[in-house]
Amino acid sequence: MVRYELKRATLSQHEAKPPRVWKVAEAKARLSEILRLSEEEGPQRIGTRRPFVVIPERVWRERKEVPRKALGQWLVENTPRGANLTIPDRNTKRKTP
């Protein structure tokens, strides 16, 4: 069985070949194969106009269990530190662009 992580944009073993996109009609006819491939090879993409991705439930649960930080908290934690920036005085009469 091939292990993969949903968090990454590409799969390490499958980076060389572009991901297959199944047509909806083909996916309906070959659902069992798509489910098997999603377990063995990674996410399976279906459709082009309205794309969907099939992944195993355990991968979905693992993804949901990882707590995400709020954007504001992430920004505060990742603000560059130590930069000696000069903050201009707001009371001066300067041109505003």
- The helix/strand/coil state of 53 is strand
Name the DSSP letter for residue 5. Answer: -
Architecture (CATH level 2) of domain 12-76: 3-Layer(aba) Sandwich (3.40)
pTM of the model: 0.51
**Range list of β-strands (E), 3-61:** 21-22, 44-46, 52-54
How far from each other are the two terminal CA atoms of the chain, in whole angstroms? 59
- 3-state percent helix, strand, coil for the chain, nearest multiple of 5: 35, 10, 55
Q: Which of 4-13, 27-36, 51-60, 80-89 has the lowest mean pLDDT?
A: 4-13
pLDDT higher at 78 or 87: 78
pLDDT for res 47: 93
pLDDT for res 66: 75
pLDDT for res 20: 86
Interval 37-85: pLDDT, tens: 999 999 999 998 999 999 999 988 888 777 888 999 988 888 877 667 7
Query: Over 50: is that where the pLDDT of 11 sits?
Result: no
Alpha-carbon distances, residue 17 vs 13, 14, 70, 83 (angstroms): 9, 6, 35, 43
